[in-house]
A and B are shown apart, each in its own frame.
Chain A
Amino acid sequence: MKVTPAVNTFVGRPVERVEDLRYLRGKGQYLDDLQKEGQWCGAVLRSSVAHGRLVNIDTKAALDIPGVHAVITAADLPSVIPTIPFRRPNPTIAPYAQPVIAVDKVRYVGEPIAFVLADSAEIAEDALQFISVEIDTLDPIVDWRASENGATLLFDSTQTNIASVFEARSGDAAEAFRAAPYVRRERFSVQRHTAMPMETRGLLAEWDEATSHLTVWGAAKLPFFNRRAMAGMMGLQETAVDYLELDVGGGFGARGEFYPEDFLVAFSAKHFKRPVKWVEDRREHFLAIAHAREMEAELEIACDLDGSILGMRGTINVDIGAYVRPNGMTPVRNVTQFIAGPYRIANLAFDGRALVSNKTPAGTYRGPGRFEGCFFCERMIDLAAKDLNLDGVDMRRRNLLTQADMPYALATVSPNDGFAETACDSGDYRTTFDQCLNEFGWQEKSPLNGQCIDGLYHGIAIGNFIEGGAAGPRESAKIELERDGSVSVYVGSSGVGQGVETIMSQIAADALEISLDRIRLFHGSTSNLKEGFGSYGSRGTVMGGSAVLVAAKEFLAAFQDAAAERLRVPSDQVTVEGGVARTRDGRSVPLIEIAALELISREATYHGSKQTYTFGAAAVHVSVDPKTGRVNILDYVTVDDVGRVINPLTLHGQVVGAAVQGFGGVFSEHLQYDSSGQLLVGSLADYMIPISTDYPHIRAISLEQYPSPNNPLGAKGAGEGGIIPVGGVVVNAIASALRSFGVEPRSLPLTPPHIWQLIQETKS
């Protein structure tokens, strides 16, 4: 398919977000704004024990509370309790799937045990305290080493707590390491943390007995997959279920996957023939949302003395929590495939092991496995450069991929979960690197490295990343002409607050050559299209936008045909431009006139399974107060190349927001557990996400020098890249600042007390 529509009135422009007016006027419609006549509200009784056998559940006292209608436990569900299907199945994970409600065992604090239905959420929550649950406790597993040891097995039907091992291979790592003049081994770790969307999760389900139809509001991310999953678990036809999207207050990869509550809410609605609503509170969110990032890597690097990286290998142990969630394997696969990032390293051998534990099950969080892998790789490079007495900048540039390497195959991964093979698509990765050095002022800032000014130690660092995007296999869009001559555009990509209405409207307006205000954009819901996918893996814009292009082409062809008929000439004698069809002899008919005759509607699918790779660099200047451990970000610059910028404003928002989110993961966000498997954070006072005043010095520059050859827009994913380099580059800058102390941080988060501790350790 040929690249790009002819005119670009809107694509590439800083068009203000069309959805913002609605949000700013308080007209946003979030799940909790929705009320249904006669609805019941649900509250989930969650296990307070990390690991144990369920002996008895007594709901009688709860049922006696006025306003309580029912309490559902495993006993009330079909005899075979459904487990939540995987997005990417692989041969070993089946026994580790999560049942929609605890059956014989509880495996993490927060696991649903019962679901109370009452007149209000408050009454339902009150009733939780009156359910008595008897649990025989079992030894809890709270870290991957205990899990590996296997003395206690989480799943009786298995022989091991290792749910899966992903092997990424490229070249011959063993031989490369044997021959290498320099080898270094290191251990790094990242702490458990996750997404904190401003709007917590929520669902409302309604069963229509007359039409045997289930409607679920509160969809996000991937409604079509969830509809399929729900239909399967409920024994319904897929078309008997709709997942509808309202406004969504943030997703970040965690919200919108199929969770136990999806089933409990829908099952209750069907069972009791009542609308049922459930909204998570923040404390519950900490226990229920998929956790992420907890992994420890044992890595080795092999280099030539000139800094060429000959190989990397190692094992990454990922604590995935109690179950394999629908997307729980993605971070594990990703980290093995993407550790080497944007660097040309011929020989790779990584094993990513997914180990279960008695903690909240893990899933994807913006840049899954990539944030972690980039941290590991960039730290490793700095440590190697130091050993080899090389400049880290030179060493990086030497190994960066160039256009001559494209397409560049990344390590092949087995088992194949759909992403075994992938290749970087386009770009000279030195361009963003060099521009980042320039914008940052690397030369001028270099003398500051390691210096102490007014008691603060200064350090700088730069690193590189790639961001995989455009997850296939396809996406759909539909364009319909309305009676008033306006156009409705439906797209499978979903909105999570990222501005999908704006972006898609821009693409559609240019493709149809009409003005923005004639377009109404609908997205996400399964009622819009026959088939769709959603917004994940940095795909929403690339795949959905490409689908809009394909649909627009068909729509315009239909317009041309309709106009030709109206003008009584053969179709090929009509040209369409700017929403008007013209004959050669000067007669014309505008779209709006066709609308009076025929409401053209075209649904089309864009197919594409080749991923796009945005690439970029980030540089940071920090100062560290060794007495308090405080790190200040004095300057943070990222330069990326996204192939094609649809909207510089929304793109900038993505990149800056992701960087700040990354700082949260580097400095403070931590889902800490104690040795009995209790989660120690329960509020945003303990789980410290960045506040708006924390990081004022961020500069983000996006280029479009290397369009992706893999889609008609030339665009690459851009939702996740901003977070990926943060860990590596910030920690390297801190190490650089504290070089006179010999501090080399290897684990996150770098809270002030942690940095202080590292300094104390080097003193003694």
Chain B
Amino acid sequence: MLMEADGEAKLLAGGQTLLPVMAFRLAAPAILIDLSGVQELKGISIDDTGVRIGAMTTWRDIEDDQRLRTAAPLVSAAIEHIAHYQIRNRGTIGGSLSHADPAAEMPGVVVACDACLEIVGSNGMRSVPANEFFLGPLTTCLSADEVLTAVRFPPWPATRLWAFEEFAQRRGDFAYAGIALFHETGATGLVENAHIGLIGATSVPRRLGVAEAALNGRRLDGETIAAAAQLASSEADAEDDIHASAAYRKALVGTLLERALKAAAERAEAL
């Protein structure tokens, strides 16, 4: 159908983004293709290759799956910041990723986690790393005849330290900025494999490479944290909008990274 519609059709997942957009008359697709009956797109499976979440899995189902708290803790932690429970009952992970709003939580999380996106189209199946999937604000590499079918997260080592921090005006709002972070600690006690996903305060979901580099190989002391926060601030490419200045959002990124690093360290002590 997608192919036949020749760009005139839109896939309908939970409708929590698409329907408001249509109500505002910003989109008026001639055909809506409802994916809710496609069972193959729903469900969460976990094995030693990692976690696979079907595109049509709702936020609610992800939130309720206790296994994810250890198998993909950043995913679990992010969910409670996504909208309100009524919206989480309908909204899907596939809809959110396909919509590619840089202010949404999950795009930042999948990028931070080196997840892969599974896509099916007229040319068959392909798998795209998250950092290549998002091209710009509300833009992905999906072509008009393609459907996102699942997102696949690599296995999560039990010793990994992580934290999710965001700041929104009200609970459930899109955040001014957010940080999805993990790293490991080597035998020497130095930071390894730092991954920092940036949410909001950016035009495209992405990692903060400069700040990551400033952490790797360092001991996580006050000086390292402050330096990384500083770099994260300048690395964020926020813009002014009606809610906040770019300067505020950039400063916030630094603050959130600092808080995330401390929260991750506290988690280490609790281990």
Contact string against A for B residues 236-256, beta-carbon threshold 8 Å, 1 for contact and 0 otherwise: 000000111101100110010
CB distance from B61 to the nearest CB of A (A): 23
A693 to B171, CA, bound (A): 8
CB pair A681–B242 under 8 Å, yes or no, is yes
B137 at the interface (CB under 8 A from A): no
Q: Which of A716-764 contact B (CB under 8 A)?
A: 751-753, 756-757, 760
A184 at the interface (CB under 8 A from B): no
A688 at the interface (CB under 8 A from B): yes
CB pair B169–A668 under 8 Å, yes or no, is yes
15 A-B residue contacts at CB 8 Å? A129-B25, A627-B252, A628-B255, A668-B170, A680-B242, A682-B24, A683-B24, A688-B169, A691-B170, A693-B171, A694-B171, A752-B167, A752-B169, A753-B243, A757-B245
A628 to B259, CA, bound (A): 12
> Which residues of the partner chain A approach B84 to less than 8 Å between Cβ atoms?
691
CB pair B171–A691 under 8 Å, yes or no, is yes
CB distance from A125 to the nearest CB of B (A): 8
A488 at the interface (CB under 8 A from B): no
B176 at the interface (CB under 8 A from A): yes
Contact string against A for B residues 16-45, beta-carbon threshold 8 Å, 1 for contact and 0 otherwise: 000010001100000000000000000000
B174 at the interface (CB under 8 A from A): yes
Q: A691-B170, A693-B171 are in contact. Are A753 and B242 (CB under 8 A)?
A: no
A688 to B242, CA, bound (A): 12
Chain A, Cβ-Cβ closest to B174? A685
Cross-interface CB contact of B167 among A630, A672, A693, A757, cutoff 8 Å: A630
CB pair A752–B176 under 8 Å, yes or no, is yes
Cross-interface CB contact of A685 among B25, B173, B245, cutoff 8 Å: B173
CB distance from A44 to the nearest CB of B (A): 15
> Which residues of the partner chain B approach A690 to less than 8 Å between Cβ atoms?
170
Main secondary structure of the interface of B (DSSP, over half): loop
Q: A672-B242, A752-B176 are in contact. Are A628 and B167 (CB under 8 A)?
A: yes
Chain B, Cβ-Cβ closest to A670? B242
CB pair A753–B244 under 8 Å, yes or no, is yes
A423 to B236, CA, bound (A): 58
> Which residues of the partner chain A approach B255 to less than 8 Å between Cβ atoms?
627-628
> Which residues of the partner chain B approach A760 to less than 8 Å between Cβ atoms?
247
B7 at the interface (CB under 8 A from A): no
> Which residues of the partner chain B approach A668 to less than 8 Å between Cβ atoms?
169-170
CB distance from A116 to the nearest CB of B (A): 15
CB distance from B11 to the nearest CB of A (A): 23
A756 to B251, CA, bound (A): 10
A27 at the interface (CB under 8 A from B): no
> Which residues of the partner chain A approach B243 to less than 8 Å between Cβ atoms?
686, 751, 753
CB pair B171–A686 under 8 Å, yes or no, is no
CB pair A688–B170 under 8 Å, yes or no, is yes
B50 at the interface (CB under 8 A from A): no
Chain A, Cβ-Cβ closest to B245? A753
Cross-interface CB contact of B248 among A129, A683, A685, A756, cutoff 8 Å: A756
A88 at the interface (CB under 8 A from B): no
Chain A, Cβ-Cβ closest to B258? A627
A386 at the interface (CB under 8 A from B): no
A283 at the interface (CB under 8 A from B): yes
B136 at the interface (CB under 8 A from A): no
The chain A residues found within 8 Å of chain B, CB to CB, are 129, 283, 627-630, 667-668, 672, 680-683, 685-686, 688, 690-691, 693-694, 751-753, 756-757, 760
> Which residues of the partner chain B approach A691 to less than 8 Å between Cβ atoms?
84, 170-172
CB distance from B164 to the nearest CB of A (A): 16
A752 to B245, CA, bound (A): 11
> Which residues of the partner chain A approach B169 to less than 8 Å between Cβ atoms?
667-668, 688, 751-752
CB pair A753–B174 under 8 Å, yes or no, is no
A680 to B25, CA, bound (A): 17
Besides the contacts A627-B255, A680-B242, A688-B169, what 15 more A-B pairs have beta carbons closer than 8 Å?
A: A129-B25, A627-B251, A629-B248, A667-B169, A672-B242, A682-B24, A683-B24, A686-B243, A688-B173, A690-B170, A691-B170, A752-B176, A753-B243, A756-B251, A757-B248
CB distance from B243 to the nearest CB of A (A): 7
A283 to B242, CA, bound (A): 17
Chain A, Cβ-Cβ closest to B244? A753
Q: Which of B168-202 contact A (CB under 8 A)?
A: 169-174, 176
> Which residues of the partner chain B approach A685 to less than 8 Å between Cβ atoms?
173-174
CB distance from A457 to the nearest CB of B (A): 15
Interface centre among B24, B169, B251, B252 (most CB of A within 10 A): B169
CB pair B173–A694 under 8 Å, yes or no, is no
Interface centre among A685, A691, A753, A757 (most CB of B within 10 A): A753
A420 to B242, CA, bound (A): 40
CB distance from B28 to the nearest CB of A (A): 10
CB distance from A671 to the nearest CB of B (A): 11
Q: A283-B24, A672-B242, A682-B24 are in contact. Are A694 and B170 (CB under 8 A)?
A: yes
Chain A, Cβ-Cβ closest to B20? A683
Chain B, Cβ-Cβ closest to A668? B169
CB distance from B130 to the nearest CB of A (A): 26
CB distance from A78 to the nearest CB of B (A): 33
CB distance from A730 to the nearest CB of B (A): 16
Chain A, Cβ-Cβ closest to B167? A628
CB distance from B125 to the nearest CB of A (A): 36
> Which residues of the partner chain B approach A129 to less than 8 Å between Cβ atoms?
25
> Which residues of the partner chain B approach A628 to less than 8 Å between Cβ atoms?
167, 252, 255
CB distance from A694 to the nearest CB of B (A): 6
Contact string against A for B residues 122-161, beta-carbon threshold 8 Å, 1 for contact and 0 otherwise: 0000000000000000000000000000000000000000
A28 to B8, CA, bound (A): 41
A606 to B243, CA, bound (A): 49
Interface centre among A681, A682, A751 (most CB of B within 10 A): A751
CB pair A753–B248 under 8 Å, yes or no, is yes
> Which residues of the partner chain A approach B244 to less than 8 Å between Cβ atoms?
751-753
> Which residues of the partner chain A approach B174 to less than 8 Å between Cβ atoms?
685
CB distance from A464 to the nearest CB of B (A): 29
Contact string against A for B residues 78-105, beta-carbon threshold 8 Å, 1 for contact and 0 otherwise: 0000001000000000000000000000
> Which residues of the partner chain A approach B24 to less than 8 Å between Cβ atoms?
283, 682-683
CB pair B242–A686 under 8 Å, yes or no, is yes
A757 to B252, CA, bound (A): 12
